[in-house]
Structure 1
């Protein structure tokens, strides 16, 4: 939990100072001069994306689930309806302006999977299928952290003196590796903890 909290805070510190400045020059992604609303869309996308990270982190905290179930339920609805859905739709609007062709496909695929896993998790809990809810929401959380890991990877690849790679390569690699690796880790962890999880919801 502590490591995940560090990632959430890192993402907040990484995105907010630049995107809340109101200065398009502070954007961490290249802006298309022909798309006049490019910067505002990026800002709203960044703000709602961070809201998604904060609310989904509240979702996975065991203490909140056990002692404050209402907070768990409310944060889950905020995560789905106010964060995941609008964030992903805005991401789809930004995909045509991506400078990483294959990365743009990766972003689209991760967005589709993010919405799918979250909606399936919501549907499962509405039907009181708590084991399925847990599984889908863990996958959703893994995808939501993809952008954060991508940023960490991009920073590491550009942090070493003398080691320079094209920005397009960094974008391609970080766009795919981040969420794919997250999903593999999430699947491994779910399989490892499945028997214990089944006992907890009985």
Structure 2
């Protein structure tokens, strides 16, 4: 049974990693810096303010790379087997979120235009993302390894929301009209709240295993 669970966890990891790679490849297509490319075509009014485009590039272009670096950080024993890479990628992950991706996401949230429920979701998610990542960085500077690891899991739960949001949109776009504020509001909260719940349950189970 243990072997089956181990194989299943690795299969799930590979599937999720592939989804993250696909998302990252898509974000890197914006390196053409064409302000009318793909999704940006519908954000011309926001772009005209001068605030949206820099925030978009800071959030999206780095976001994909941050997502992949997070996978490596949380891979079992990466910090033991590849300490130098773990340290450098961890620094990239933290600084990328604190100085680029989270501030960029915060500015982008102000232009989303899908109602107060969606706005609240993205603003709260961004603030928590920044906060959890900052706490994780503070804990490793204080050599509190276990606390650092737990806060990194919480941070990554919110990083991974980029993938889960797109999964929900893809699955439910066949049966829901996503242009409706109520539909997008549900997906905006589903993209990150369940992630945090799953991570908290995972961390609790690990603590219980260590205790006994």
Q: Using structure 1 for the length normalisation, give the TM-score.
A: 0.85
Q: Determine if the alignment matches structure 1 residue 144 to structure 2 residue 159.
A: yes
Q: Which residue, out of 42, 45, 68, partners 1:30?
A: 42
Deviates more, 1:27-36 or 1:49-58: 27-36
Describe the SS at the equivalent of 2:63. helix
Counterparts of 1:49 and 1:114, CA distance in 2: 12
Q: CA deviation at 1:28?
A: 6.3
- Residue correspondence of structure 1 range 117-128 to structure 2 within 5 A: 117-128=132-143
2:104 aligned partner: 90
Query: Which of 5, 10, 22 is the matching residue for 1:10?
Result: 22
Distance (whole Å) between structure 1 residues aligned to residue 89 and residue 31 of structure 2: 23
1:61-110 deviations in whole A, cap 9, x for unaligned?
22421211111111111111123431111111112211222111111101
SS in 1 for 2:156: helix
Distance 1:23 1:86 in 2: 19
SS of equivalent to 2:45: coil
Which runs of no fewer than 5 residues in structure 2 stay unpaired? Answer: 1-12
CA change 1:67–1:34 in 2 (3 A) is: closer
* Range moving further from structure 2, 27-36 or 170-179: 27-36
Gaps of 5+ in 1: none
Match of 1:47 among 26, 49, 61: 61
Q: Which residue of 2 aligns with 1:178?
A: 191
Correspondence 1:50-199 to 2 at 5 A: 50-101=64-115, 102-158=117-173, 160=174, 163-167=175-179, 168-196=181-209
**Judging changes above 3 Å, is the alpha-carbon distance between structure 1 residues 59 and 12 closer, same or farther for their aligned structure 2 residues?**
same
Which residue of the partner structure matches residue 31 of structure 2? Answer: 20
Quote the offset at 1:14 in angstroms. 3.8
Judge conservation of contact 1:143–1:183 (CA < 8 Å) in 2.
yes
Count of residues in correspondence between the two structures? 195
